A and B are shown apart, each in its own frame.
Chain A
Amino acid sequence: MAENKIDELTDYMASSLEEASQNYTQDLQIFPDVKLVKIGGQSITDRGRAAVFPVLEELVENSEKHKIIISTGGGTRARHTYQVGIDLGMPVGVLAEMGGAVTVQNARMIQMLMAKHGGIYLDHLEFEKIPLFMKLGCIPIMPGMPPYSFWEDIPEHGSIPMNRTDTGVFFTAEALGVDSVLFIKDEKGLFTDDPKKNPDAEFIPKIHVDDLIAMDLGDLIVERVVLHYLKKARYVKKLQIINGMEKGNITRALNGEHVGTIIHT
């Protein structure tokens, strides 16, 4: 092809991108009526049957009324793998990859538990099949770790990946265009410090993300980067953190009631 023709095409594509950027209205909600629910790793899954069975039961009860997608956390095996990996000198990308494997295990186990209720394992790149699963009344279960693996950002501090399962769940919600994400944990919600270690920690029922960032807490119940992503989010307007060990909380939260902590924009 003549070179000037190539130049002409390249120029055309560059100019059409500039125009499209200016006119961009991000208004496609791929799945606006889905409720995304994260089951905590250390807080729920690692406790075994005593904690997990009632949580899953409550989710199944609600799945007739709500379209639910479940995402899983890592937990104590992820922590163990980070320790061994750090000691062996592993780069952050390898740590991220290893952390991801634990969330895949958790998702597979929860799928087995929920299979009789339509639980179906959803791989990262199977988003396009969600409409079919929903139509069939399935409950998709996906691993929470984002797929960055080797391409995980170099952390600002230390060597543990900054983008872990809360980030993965958050971006799943944002890409699907859902308006809220529910984090099921074993604490009432957000406290000013870790309530398991500090009895004086105060409970925070509701807080604006800017105020929470300004408080600069030493510890948080969600990954720090998620707060910054939430500020830039187009669809996700709030994160809700609830204690799934108390029966009824999941149902109330799915029905839009304020239980636990809401971090909002």
Chain B
Amino acid sequence: MSDFLKEKDTSGRTHMQSRFMRESLVDKEVLDSAVVEDEVAILPDLNVINIGGKSIIDRGRKAVYPLIDELIEVKKHHKFVVGVTGGARVRHTMAIGLDFGLPVGGLAMVVGAMEEQNATMVYSLMAKHGAVRVPKDHYTDLPHYLDNGMIPILTSNPPHHYWEKPPKNGVLPENGADFGAYMTSEGLGSRSMIFVKDQDGLYTKDPEKHADAKFIERISAQELLANDQDLILDRTVIEMLARARHVKEIYIVNGLKRGNILKALNGEKVGTVIYKAE
């Protein structure tokens, strides 16, 4: 049977034989039926560790040096990539961009450069321990680096650029570095996703401003989305987590205290775990 099919009726379209030929990929029934069974986990041993820009890197040597020592220790036990986010300079970039009246895609286009800076600095500090910078279009090289005991340093910001979606709330791009890091872990089908911040995890309110803020050990993504509570991650991460197919829980740990990352990687109780309720 030929792979090609020319429609005999008046419409005259040509198709390749597939169950989606002639179908509209907008049709609800077609979409519902197009489900991947047993989706492939591309790098199931991989852990993604995302270092906060504002929470860790902007604090300078005092916060970053000990964290890097810890990561080098962790490397003896686990395979991981390090994502790095932008921090205060991202905020400043956005403030200037908003003042110029840039569209949301224009803002998304320029913020990534600040993360590149932080990634270059983290790489420079860790290069002697095997760190390597891996840009997005080189993700297919990751097995090579990981199998040779190296630590790939990624830029977390997603490649949405001018194609950034309009924000649901407020005026700032919502698919930021946390989203990018989570989608890296989910897309690669990785073992875990750890967000390294400067507080123990999620609280019901900002603990620095409210004495009655309560610590949250474990909470579902769905519950978090239903509450309108303060998050210390991009909300889009929680939205994706609620639809996750591989990485169904994420950790938020305090990177200013030693030992937390290893505990999280070993599945011990530490920080806040946000999970997908099935």
Contacts and interface: CB of A to CB of B under 8 A. Distances in A.
Contacts, number: 227
Given A24-B98, A83-B19, A194 B171 contact: no
A91 B91 contact: no
Interface string A40-52: 0011001110100
A79 B26 contact: no
A28 B18 contact: no
Contact of B183 (A77, A150, A177): A150
Contact of A147 (B163, B171, B186): B163
Contacts of A214: none
B146 interface: no
A46 B16 CA distance: 10
Contact size range, B? 35 or more
Interface in B5-38: 11-29, 31-38
Interface string A224-245: 1000010011110000000000
B93 to A, nearest CB: 9
In this complex, which of A83, A220, A224 has the most chain B Cβ atoms within 10 angstroms of its Cβ? Answer: A83
**B interface: dominant SS:** loop
B277 interface: no
B18 A220 contact: no
A157 B28 contact: yes
A146 B24 CA distance: 19
Of B17, B31, B167, B184, the most chain A CB neighbours within 10 A belong to: B31
A147 B160 contact: yes
B20 A1 contact: no
Contact of B139 (A150, A172, A218): A150
B187 interface: yes
A224 B26 CA distance: 7
B159 interface: yes
B244 interface: yes
Contact of B162 (A47, A127, A149, A222): A127
A218 B29 contact: yes
A47 B95 contact: no
B213 interface: no
Contact of B60 (A3, A13, A23): A3
Contacts of B16: 76-77, 79-80
Contacts of A167: 163
Interface in A72-130: 76-77, 79-80, 82-86, 88-94, 124-125, 127
A147 B137 CA distance: 11
B172 interface: yes
A21 B172 contact: yes
A80 to B, nearest CB: 4
Contacts of B125: none
B254 to A, nearest CB: 18
A218 B26 CA distance: 8
Interface string B142-165: 000000000000000011111111
Given A23-B98, A47-B12, A80 B18 contact: yes
Contact of B27 (A24, A25, A156, A218): A218
Contact of B166 (A127, A148, A177, A233): A233
Contacts of A76: 14-16, 18, 21
A39 to B, nearest CB: 15
Given A3-B59, A21-B98, A224-B26, A47 B163 contact: no
B103 A83 contact: no
Contact of A154 (B32, B62, B165, B240): B240
B259 interface: no
Contact of A17 (B24, B33, B36, B95): B95
B101 A26 contact: yes
Contact of B244 (A148, A154, A164): A154
A91 B36 contact: yes
B243 A154 contact: yes
Contacts of A24: 98-99, 101, 171
Interface string A1-32: 10100100110011011011101111110100
Which of A76, A149, A159, A234 has the most chain B CB atoms closer than 10 A to its own CB? A76
B100 A46 contact: no
B42 to A, nearest CB: 7
Given A10-B88, A79-B18, A218 B28 contact: yes
A175 B106 CA distance: 7
12 contacts: A10-B88, A25-B101, A30-B103, A86-B36, A89-B39, A151-B175, A153-B240, A154-B245, A167-B163, A175-B105, A219-B26, A220-B26
Interface of B: 11-29, 31-40, 42, 54, 58-60, 62, 87-89, 91-92, 94-96, 98-106, 136, 139, 158-167, 170-172, 175, 179-180, 183-184, 186-189, 240, 243-246
Instruction: Sort A-B residue pairs by CB-CB distance and give the 6 closest, nearest first.
Output: A175-B105, A232-B166, A79-B20, A175-B162, A151-B158, A93-B187
